[in-house]
Amino acid sequence: MPECRNTGMPEYRNAGRHEEAAPKKRDGMKRRAWMALSLLAGLTTACTQETNDLLAERHDDYLELHFSMAGTRTDLNADGAGSFREGDRIGLCIDNGTEVSYREVTLTNGAWEPQLRRSDFGSGELVLSAHYPTFPDDGSGSDTRSFTLSDDQRNEGYTAADLIYARRELPAGSSRAELVFTHAMHRLRIELSGSDESLDISLRSRMRGRFDLLTGEATAEDVFGWITPRRNADGSFEAVIFPQEADIYRDAEGLLKVTDETREATFKAPESSGGEALTEFRAGRQLTIRLTVKPGGDPDIQDLAGKQMWVYGLNVPDFPGEDNLPSYGLYAKVPAGIWFRKDRVYEEIQNLTWEEGCGWYDCNKSPQYSENDGNLCWAASASDLLLWWMNNNRGYVEAYQEEYGSTVSATVGNYTYTYTRPSMDFLPLLPNGGSGDDNPNQPQNRNEVFQFFKNHSQNVGAWNSQGVRWFITGESTGIPTNYAGGYFPGFFAEVFSEADVIATESNRSPSEEEFNRFIVDALSNRQALGFTAYDIAGLNTGNHALVIWGVEFDAAGKIAYIYYCDNNNADQDVNGAVITRRRIVYETDPSSPTGKKLTYIQPLPPRNGSSVDKKRSLITNLCSVDLRQDIWARKYAAVHPQE
């Protein structure tokens, strides 16, 4: 069996960027701060920097400065004015190495006034530090300013709390610089599923601190309070808080309160995010907390005992029960869209066959891995998730194609690489989608999305979440690119930046509780699911990436079975694509001092009574993929993809 190992564990951020230390005063170092737009729960960075209006005319003795926001192109107006509006005022510290001068410029009739002469600050190197909004002069002569958060961020209080900062070095003799603003604070986002309008959210935070005008660092003081966050159109809640340590919010008072007329629930800060310990709320980042509201009770996991849940957008029959399954031979033709059992005594295999319009996808590697794709399980499962993502965003994808076309390009030196977006259509690997003559001498169906990965990636392991992000935004961290793949800019980068959280990962080797909560949250919020399991493809094969399309709960409301696709089985899948049902078991981790239970996938017990206990495989990772129709809707408000 092929080795399908992952190349490494993603760092504590969604987009995989490396963080740098904040700059010191006059130290000449650059500082890169990043803004994340959602967790599910993660931390990210923005990908594009668009130029803003000129601060002054092009003139040898005038500073020519451009202001922009780190974000997607859709955050900016056609004239490059970004989110700045007429009358906005920016504070600017200009450090020539000897002294720091302070100026303020205001957007007036589309230009920043007053114009600033370069010679007023010397001809040597300058360090420019800009911030918005401006602060009143406190008369202290200090480079820091006191700042207090509003406890009501439903309207203006939210905007006032969102401090942004930019820093840039200007070489000696130069008058032109671009300053890209990033967020100096941290944003918390709370998403409730199963909720109604009667619920209120309160968020606890340090309320007062100081902001350094030269470094852009916001430092909180130990003055606590409760914030009423703003409520977004999609029903989520958001508030801006100081960057600060997270541990204090695991005490009895917690981080969040959810209340209605009769009840109140308190929630502590999560212990982890993105697979690593959550120790702080970082500047320029966002943490998303998802809660499921149980009707008539506290926000909690829903009552799912004995039920089945499927990924959003699927059109499939529920599992009918083991006693109601018809049996078919190993290579027999099976009708499309039915559950059945393979007629075998020594192993129990239960499958659902693919049919047109079912809404799930099963991209398989080549038979016997003859096309050098044995380690591309991550790419095959990412292709399944992307087909789901594009088809459920079809209206938006079509609007995007009408505006931007179906190709993207990257110019390197004198050569331009052009990439054509693959089709959203899918047929199983077998000829005719498994519905006709399966003579192996016929050309096999090739899914274009998976073929794109095969064309531009090495036959090396990675994570399915990385594949999703790369295809959509061009963010290539962890992608073993090949040939021109290293220059690929992403097929939807005009709407989605690398900062936008589309694919989110669980903790490594999720516990019983983490596994259940992650999957229920994903299925309750219209997200698709990938996962990896260790040695599921055979002894010493390492991690193997697959896709979950549904789950089945036991009488206690715990996930007892999953419905998944395995991309290794091109020569075994009936009709070329099937969903397989397997059992989930939880076993105590012997190395855990708390008795934590790990999650395993296990074959179904065969009819001959032989044991399958030693055939279980540890589930090492989960991945959820969000449609992010909130971002799509900001670009294409008139599109309604579900209609």
Predicted pLDDT at 19 = 34
Predicted pLDDT at 443 = 54
Q: How far is CA 55 from CA 87, 107, 111, 592, in A?
A: 14, 9, 6, 59
Q: pTM of this prediction?
A: 0.60
Pairing verdict, β 350-353 and 578-588? antiparallel
* Calpha distance 461→160 (Å, rounded): 45
Looking at the DSSP bridge assignments, the partners of residue 293 are 299
Contact 346, 605 (CB under 8 A): no
Residues of the chain with pLDDT under 50: 1-58, 71-82, 296-302, 433-434
Predicted pLDDT at 197 = 60
Domains of the chain: 48-292 (2.60.40.2670), 308-332+349-635 (3.90.70.10)
Q: Which residues of 26-58 are buried (b: 16+ CB within 10 A; e: fewer)?
A: eeeeebbbbbbbbbbbbbbbbbbbbebbbbbee
Predicted pLDDT at 629 = 92
Residues 483-501: tens digit of each pLDDT: 777 889 999 999 999 888 8
Predicted pLDDT at 306 = 86
Predicted pLDDT at 34 = 28
Predicted pLDDT at 39 = 29
Computed from CA positions of residues 612, 613, 617, 622, in that sequence, does the dihedral angle turn out positive or negative? positive
| Half-sphere exposure in the Cβ direction for 167 (13 Å, CA) | 23
Predicted pLDDT at 57 = 40
